[in-house]
Amino acid sequence: MAWTENPGSTVGGAVGSVFGAVEKGAQAGISAAAIGQAQHAAQGLKDAASSGQIRITEKGFNILMDALNKCEDLLLVLRENIDTITQAPKLGSSPYAKTVAAHVQKGGTGLPNSADAVYRQFQDVLDTTREALNQAKKSYENNEQDNARVLK
């Protein structure tokens, strides 16, 4: 099915579910379930595009890639903030201060649900969605070329 600029179409709905899952995750404090839902939606879109079930026009592709690029820009701002929290705070030189600083730092990096890990998971969702859109565009172009050959 080719995607047009109709937001109710298959690709638009699939990408919308990816973005919706990401938004839910951001609003809910980034739960593991929300990240899983976003990853599942992105992978489903990629699988459908890879099997030729989804095709997208150049215009539709550009619209959705623009949305992905905006998400990427927001993710880069988040990355800058994460870089700050992944550094151990300077709380003093006592053993207790060092223990607390190390504990605070673990929240930013090193744990499965750390800010750094969540950032990487969201980056993976965007990358998977981007791959899916590229494949859907390629499928559309191949279909158009096939149709042109038949009409010659």
Q: What is the mean pLDDT of residues 83-90?
A: 79
- Residue 112 above 80 pLDDT? no
Burial class (CB in 10 A: 0-12, 13-18, 19+), 18: buried
Query: What are the E-state strand segments in the chain?
Result: 2-3, 55-56
Query: Which two three-digit tokens encode residue 123?
Result: 């980056």
- Residue 103 above 70 pLDDT? yes
**What are the two backbone dihedrals, phi and then psi, of residue 7, each rounded to the nearest 5 degrees?**
-65, -15
Q: How confident is the model at residue 80 (pLDDT cuts 50, 70, 90)?
A: confident
**Helix (DSSP H) and strand (DSSP E) numbers for the chain:** 5, 2
% of the chain beyond a pLDDT of 90: 32
Question: Collapsing DSSP states into helix, strand and coil, what is residue 3?
Answer: strand
Looking at residue 16, its pLDDT comes to 58
Q: Which residue has the higher pLDDT, 82 or 128?
A: 128
Q: What is the mean pLDDT of residues 122-139?
A: 93
Angle at which helices 58-85 and 95-108 cross, to 10°: 180
Q: Which residues contact 31 (CB under 8 A, 6 or more apart)?
A: 25
| pTM for this model (two decimals) | 0.70
